[in-house]
Amino acid sequence: MPDNPKAMITDANRYEPRSNDTVLDFARHYGTSILPARPRHPQDKAKAESAVQIVERWIMARLRHQQFDSVHEVNQAMAPLLTRLNEKLFQKLPGSRASTFAEIDAPALLPLPLQRYEMAHFKTVKVHIDYHVEVERHRYSVPHSLVGQVLEARITTAVVELMHRGQRVASHARNSRQGGFTTTTTHMPAAHRAHMEWTPTRLIHWGKSIGPATAEAVTRLMAENKHPEHGYRACLGLLSLAKRYGKVRLEAACMLALQIGACQYRHVRDILTNNRDQSAPTTAGDWVSPDHVHVRGPGYYQ
């Protein structure tokens, strides 16, 4: 039962005070609850102030003339005094602090978790159309059915957990590589899993079966993307044009696309749609100036 500091309490409401996400996560880890006192109502809290005063009088006062070189020495000196203080009988109540703790508090205590609490901070993220969320400029995958949903990211030193309506839907090892992707296969739609069966070598080999220009276009498509996997779909679309227009026309269209420096899928498709591959020369020769009456020849300067 703490006060209402801004570092702990998001909303210091009189009737429904709300702790921040980190405090709630801490309480959830240790299986406890946190109920802040009402503003300007110190009687809501436990007798912490009076306990501090007692410790000052019975322990710190006895040690005020001693000198210590480390905190460990202070703890060693305080341990026997603390035991005597807890075993000291109450003046107006039966028993002592130690006996009251053993009778009331100890039976209600839960065992500590196997792992200590690790400090975490939280962030609200939205699932992009590629079923990834962005945390610190790195993208982590979630189940593709959550596209468009707003999730809560729990970020620790080593792990990024993603939760939807209080339920964890994904967990990834934290990655500091900006612009990178961390993807779990089970999060991918069935169509995207099929793309994982393809490799750059396999796509280039398929392009070589059509022609060297097609293989070069496939290579450039994958080189344009920071991650080759992001160019797989474009390569598959490019190679699928052979089914509609034939391998000969696709090879000619790729050769023309390479000459003009535009070898993306839509460029090759437009070349085939407009039949430019059938009218364009297969090789580009050196440019020669045509004869013209107004062009002065080398004899003019003799």
Residue 302 placed within a domain: no
**Residues 210 and 184 both lie in one domain:** no
Residue 3 placed within a domain: no
- Which pair of structure tokens corresponds to residue 172? 């990834």
Answer with the one of 48, 78, 108 that is the final residue of a domain: 108
Answer with the one of 188, 215, 246 that is the final residue of a domain: 188
Q: How far apart are CA 101 and CA 109, in angstroms?
A: 10
Residue 151 placed within a domain: yes
**Residues 29 and 94 both lie in one domain:** yes
β-strands 138-141, 132-135 pairing? antiparallel
Residue 287 placed within a domain: no
Question: To 5 degrees, how large is the angle CA 256–CA 257–CA 260?
Answer: 90
Residue 114 placed within a domain: no
Q: SS3 of 168, please?
A: strand
Q: How far apart are CA 161 and CA 72, in angstroms?
A: 38
Residue 83 pLDDT more than 90? yes
Q: SS3 of 6, please?
A: coil
Among 83, 85, 200, 184, residue whose Cα is nearest residue 142: 184
Q: Which residue has the higher pLDDT, 229 or 61?
A: 61
**Residues 18 and 90 both lie in one domain:** yes
Question: Which H or E run contains 10?
Answer: strand 9-11
What is the rounded average pLDDT of the residues 127-139?
89
**Residues 202 and 273 both lie in one domain:** yes
Looking at residue 170, its pLDDT comes to: 94
180-234: pLDDT as tens digits: 889 888 888 876 666 566 677 888 888 889 999 999 988 888 787 655 556 777 7
Residue 289 placed within a domain: no
Among 79, 77, 169, residue whose Cα is nearest residue 132: 169
Answer with the one of 108, 140, 165 that is the final residue of a domain: 108
Q: How far apart are CA 170 and CA 190, in angstroms?
A: 18
**Residues 254 and 213 both lie in one domain:** yes
**Residues 145 and 208 both lie in one domain:** no
87-97: pLDDT as tens digits: 999 988 899 99
pLDDT band with cut points at 50, 70 and 90 for residue 284: very low
Average pLDDT, rounded, for the chain? 85
Helix, strand, coil share of the chain (percent; to 5)? 45, 15, 40
**Residues 170 and 150 both lie in one domain:** yes
Looking at residue 86, its pLDDT comes to: 92
Q: SS3 of 38, please?
A: coil
**Residues 100 and 156 both lie in one domain:** no
β-strands 181-182, 138-141 pairing? parallel
Looking at residue 197, its pLDDT comes to: 64
Contacts within 8 Å (CB) and 24+ apart, 259-262:
259/284
Q: How far apart are CA 276 and CA 261, in angstroms?
A: 15
Residue % of the chain over a pLDDT of 90: 30
Residue 14 placed within a domain: yes
**Residues 55 and 83 both lie in one domain:** yes
Q: How far apart are CA 234 and CA 238, in angstroms?
A: 6
- How much is the pTM? 0.53
CA separation, residue 127 to residues 65, 130, 141, 147, 226 (Å): 62, 8, 9, 5, 21
- Which pair of structure tokens corresponds to residue 126? 């939205």
Number of domains observed in the structure of the chain: 3
Residue type, 72: H
Q: How far apart are CA 89 and CA 13, in angstroms?
A: 39
**Residues 14 and 94 both lie in one domain:** yes
Domain residue limits at 250: 198-279
Residue 1 placed within a domain: no
Looking at residue 154, its pLDDT comes to: 93
Residue 293 pLDDT more than 80? no
**Residues 135 and 162 both lie in one domain:** yes
28-48: pLDDT as tens digits: 899 888 888 887 877 777 777
Looking at residue 74, its pLDDT comes to: 93
151-160: pLDDT as tens digits: 999 999 999 9
**Residues 229 and 173 both lie in one domain:** no
Length of the chain: 302
